[in-house]
């Protein structure tokens, strides 16, 4: 048995209090199918519950004839139905009947579509049936860790750039296949991605069915990864999945989630920070607040990385920075005629002004893009005509971008040597004066 609160496994069936978190298990599990319950005329025997969300319960079960362990997903929206314990039937309240039936129809329809998909990075549907007043999806029971559990074991809770790239490549291929079948996941997050022992990520727990059961005020989503359209009840689509994928990628690379969309309106000045390309540009596109500002498909978005990579200046390599700036070494002047202790053979040094971005933080606003309002002293009190109550005014120097052109390289990423003008050689002005 499993505690659904802390997910501690292998508990004896008679356990009342979870030894890890102290939860009273009979209360936690009272509405769920009991161990040894049978479904579909005895085809499946329930063993125990694996997890529960707002719109469904997942069980570990045995396919008796095949002697095979599967995951059973039960459509069970909280607040719309309760279970009659003697019979195991779901009982739907009259005022929720229409919502329940609409969601059930969508759940069955999505299950049929998912059953047609065969992709190594999408959980495989084995069976679909109705029983006990609701519907069930029988799926392969995957071994491995969730991506969340994997991140918790990693230094700084993030993946290496190479592993992140491989993981995203597989997830993009999975979403291309799913979207091609007319399905949107709508709840992409590390908890809904299983990483197999061979490292392959697999999308699980598709959320499309749950969207049909909810209006704009009761939609189910994970706040930390949800785009604006899920929060406001607007139309969703492939771009919704792209935003959620972008939020997951941001966490994979930085160990942190991006700011939520409501924190970025009405004026959005957020950027992905000092991530290397093509990630910076890819996340800038995927995490646009408005759905219509994102690329139309995951496929076109991912393909754009090749153009991003080819269009970036490649003037040298300095580890850990966005690009290298051609500043000849102050000691060897680019000639490297001895074992230079400064450039160590690279002949190039990073720009001390722009840190190799080509831009410097605005000296007026410190990169924030805003200045303290001179009229209300940042209190936002009264009818302040300068900041309109926002407590800050847009910086007049950087126009709110938070960055100004680098005074040394002027954004070109090239800084010629003051002495040799970039030639790498100097002429002594005393013994070899210019003609």
For the chain, residues classed under CATH 3.30.200.20 are 31-141
> In Å, what is the CA distance from 71 to each residue of 49, 51, 312, 354?
9, 10, 46, 53
- Dihedral of CA atoms 39, 81, 127, 35 in degrees, nearest 10, equals -40
Question: Which residues are 175's β-sheet partners?
Answer: none
- Helices 238-254 and 279-286: angle between axes, nearest 10 degrees: 140
Fold (topology level) of 31-141: Phosphorylase Kinase; domain 1 (3.30.200)
Best-predicted range by mean pLDDT (74-78, 216-220, 323-327): 74-78
Which of the residue ranges 35-49, 164-178, 263-277, 410-424 would you say has the lowest mean pLDDT?
A: 410-424
Task: Kindly state the DSSP code that residue 225 receives in the 8-state scheme.
Answer: G
Q: Pick the closest to residue 268 from 282, 284, 253 (CA basis).
A: 284
Give one DSSP letter per residue of 137-181, joined into a string. EEEE---SEEHHHHHHTSGGG---HHHHHHHHHHHHHHHHHHHHT
Residue 2 CA to residue 18 CA, distance in Å, equals 9
Chain segment 274-320, per-residue pLDDT in tens: 889 999 999 999 999 999 999 999 999 999 998 886 555 443 333 33
Residues 6+ apart with CB under 8 A from 67: none
Using an 8 Å Cβ cutoff, are 338 and 347 in contact? no
- The predicted model scores a pTM of 0.68
Q: Residue 108 belongs to what H/E stretch?
A: helix 97-115
pLDDT bin (cut points 50, 70, 90) of residue 33 is very high
CATH homologous superfamily for the domain 144-312: Transferase(Phosphotransferase) domain 1 (1.10.510.10)
CA angle 58, 80, 85 (to 5 degrees): 65
């Amino acid at each position: 048995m499993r505690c659904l609160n802390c997910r501690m496994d292998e508990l004896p069936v008679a356990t009342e209090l979870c030894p890890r978190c102290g939860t009273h298990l009979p209360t936690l599990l009272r509405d769920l199918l009991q161990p040894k319950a049978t479904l579909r005329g005895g085809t499946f025997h329930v063993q125990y519950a694996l997890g529960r969300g707002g719109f469904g319960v997942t069980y570990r079960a045995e396919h008796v004839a095949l002697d095979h362990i599967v995951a059973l997903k039960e459509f069970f929206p909280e607040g719309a139905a309760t279970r009659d314990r003697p019979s195991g039937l779901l009982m739907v309240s009259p005022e929720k009947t229409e919502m329940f039936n609409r969601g059930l129809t969508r759940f069955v329809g999505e299950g049929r579509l998912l059953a047609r998909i065969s992709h190594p990075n999408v959980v495989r549907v084995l069976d679909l049936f109705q029983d006990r007043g609701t519907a069930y999806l029988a799926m392969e029971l995957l071994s491995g860790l969730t991506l969340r559990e994997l991140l918790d074991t990693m230094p700084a809770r993030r993946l290496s750039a190479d592993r992140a790239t491989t993981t995203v490549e597989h997830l993009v291929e999975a979403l291309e296949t799913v979207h091609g079948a007319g399905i949107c996941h709508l709840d992409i997050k590390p908890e809904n991605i299983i990483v197999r022992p061979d490292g392959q990520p697999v999308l699980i727990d598709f959320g499309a069915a749950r969207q049909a059961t909810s209006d704009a005020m009761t939609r189910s989503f994970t706040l930390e990864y949800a785009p604006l359209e899920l929060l406001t009840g607007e139309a969703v689509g492939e771009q919704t999945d792209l935003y959620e994928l972008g939020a997951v990628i941001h966490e994979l690379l930085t160990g942190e989630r991006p700011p939520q969309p409501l924190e970025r309106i009405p004026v959005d000045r957020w950027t992905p920070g000092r991530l290397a390309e093509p990630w910076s540009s890819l996340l800038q596109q995927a995490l646009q607040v408005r759905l219509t500002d994102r690329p139309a498909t995951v496929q076109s978005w991912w393909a754009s990385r090749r153009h991003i990579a080819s269009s970036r200046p490649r003037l040298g390599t300095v580890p850990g920075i966005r690009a290298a700036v051609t500043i000849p070494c102050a000691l060897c002047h680019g000639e490297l005629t001895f074992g230079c202790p400064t450039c160590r053979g690279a002949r190039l040094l990073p720009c001390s002004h722009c840190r190799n971005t080509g831009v410097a933080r605005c000296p007026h606003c410190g990169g924030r893009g805003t200045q303290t309002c001179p009229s209300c002293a940042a209190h936002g009190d009264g009818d302040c005509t300068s900041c309109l109550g926002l407590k800050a005014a847009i910086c007049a120097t950087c126009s709110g971008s938070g960055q100004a052109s680098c005074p040394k390289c002027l954004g070109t990423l090239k800084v010629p040597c003051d002495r040799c003008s970039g030639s790498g050689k100097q002429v002594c002005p005393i013994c070899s004066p210019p003609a």
